[in-house]
Structures are given as C-alpha cells and as structure tokens.
Structure 1
C-alpha cells in the first residue's frame, strides 16, 4: 500500500483505520467520522489534529508527528 501512495499516477486508495499511527506518510487526505457523521475532512495536515481526534474519540488526546508518522497519546 505504501508503494502505491508514492506512484505519481497511482490509483486512488481508500485506507480505513481506527489507529492514526497506521496512516502512512503518502496518504494526503483524511476523513474523520463519529456517530455515523463526518466530523472533519480534507488535507491530512489540516484535519489530523489533536483537537479533531479528541472530538472524534471523545477523549483528550495529544498528537505527535515524527517523520511523517502520527502517534496519539491520551492526556488523562
């Protein structure tokens, strides 16, 4: 999957996960859902934030970006 994200004219991929740390650097856009509704969508850098993830998971979270990989840590 990661190789496909690097192809200039590669296919459109839909990658579904409950774990932000699984989101590869090549993924460009994110859609966050909660309660069956879209909570946020758009470019990964704009949507994948601590505030948005905290709202999505109904729990205070910190978001760490290390070399394009994201890690989540609970604040409480």
Structure 2
C-alpha cells in the first residue's frame, strides 16, 4: 500500500515516471562515462611522454641519426626523469 503511493499510484503517474526518468538518467551518465573512458584509453596522449621520448630516441639510434655516445647520454637523462 505504501509502495503504491510512493510509486505514484495515489498521486497519479508523476512519482513513478520521475523514478524511471532518474534511473534512465543514471544509465545515460554511465554510458557517457564509459565512452569518454574508452576515448581517453585509445588516445595517443594516454602514453607517458617519457616512454614516447625513449621510443623516439631508440628509433633515431636505430636509423643511425645519432651515435652511441649521444644515445647513451640522452638515455641516462630520460631515465633520471622516471
């Protein structure tokens, strides 16, 4: 009996409709949160800038753009930042 009044049976359909709209809104917020989390996870900026710098350094060394001495110096500088 009390539940019927709480859900809107005693006051028309307003209470039940309000409850369902709130539940729908919570589902919508969860969906939006999930979409933003997935977008952030898949973005290139989700990688650490130190890891990206080390990858670029390794690539430059592999291509022969820098010598071993320069590579070692820059690698120690990057590893100190971690």
Does the pair score TM above 0.5? no
Q: Higher strand fraction: Structure 1 or Structure 2? A: 1
Q: Say which structure, 1 or 2, has more relative contact order (CA 8 Å, 6+ apart).
A: 1
* Length-normalised TM-score, structure 2: 0.22
The structure whose residues are more often helix, as a share, is 2
Larger gyration radius, structure 1 or structure 2: 2
